Amino acid sequence: MVIKQVINNNIAISIDSQGDEVILIGKGLAFGKKKGDAIDHQKIEKRFYLEDKGLYAKFKKLLQEVSIEEINVSDDIISLAKRRLKKNLNESIYISLPDHISLAVTRTRDGLNVKNGLLWEIKKIYHEEFVVAKEAVQMINEKFKVELGEDEAGFIAFHFVNAQLNNGMNTVAKITQFVTEILSIITYQLKSTVDEETLTGFRFLMHLKFFANRIFSQDAHEDREDLFIYELVKERYTRAFEISQKVQQFINKQYSYEVSNMEVTYLTIHIQRLLDRKTE
């Protein structure tokens, strides 16, 4: 195998014997290499194939933002979840999980620990996923020398659940309408569209779809509030918070659904990412 494209010192793209494009990961695998150079097979630690070409493109972009260690531990966790849960997981988890782990590790090292408002419900309703997620947290803690707890296990369990979602057509139609309406509000407020082809836009849409699923399914529960985080983002991300409140008011009125302060917090963080991208 030879290198088709170098992502960084540890990641390269190649073509396998079947003619399929494959992402190869390994310490120093692409160090000092260029297109056309041979690959040292002994340095290959992971191989990634994604059938969804759109997700594959986003995965390649993600590889430039997270570390090789975060990609590797995410892949190990996904493999563990598939074995234990015995369920198919949507390929989108190969993007959402390493992205989440990277943010969680960074937050913890910065002393910002986010409480999971649905922890009790997750333990009760998604018990199997939560048990696997606790093992995942142990793997992350050992790898990165951090101390993530049950709140984080709850978040990771959500990623497992989200990757299993197989909604009926009626629910899918409702979710589509909901997402379209919220995007319309965001577009008007930002004076620009949300580009799903970007990693930031993809993250935001994933969040909206999961939020919509909570509203239209039987699994919607009330969040327990974390006023410290809420007040922190309110003060730090003023414009994004104002937009989130407009979304909150719309959902409350249009869907008779009381959006919690914690959901406003999550929306604010995602909208701030969109604002940051506008200034890049």
Name the residue ranges covered by the structural domains of the chain. 3-49, 68-162, 169-278
Highest mean pLDDT among 94-103, 132-141, 248-257: 132-141
Which residues are CB-contacts of 13 (< 8 A; sequence separation ≥ 6)? 3, 4, 5, 6, 7, 21, 22, 23, 24, 60
Residue 18 confidence (pLDDT) above 90: no
Percent share of the chain, pLDDT over 90: 31
**Does the structural domain 68-162 have CATH classification 1.10.3720.10?**
no
Domains 3-49 and 169-278 share a fold: no
Considering the segment(s) 169-278 as one domain, its CATH architecture is Orthogonal Bundle (1.10)
Residue 216 confidence (pLDDT) above 50: yes
Contact of 242 with 267, CB cutoff 8 Å:
no
Residue 268 confidence (pLDDT) above 50: yes
3-49: what fold? Transcription Regulation, Sacy; Chain A (2.30.24)
φ, ψ (nearest 5 deg) of residue 29: -60, -40
CB atoms within 10 A of CB 158: 21
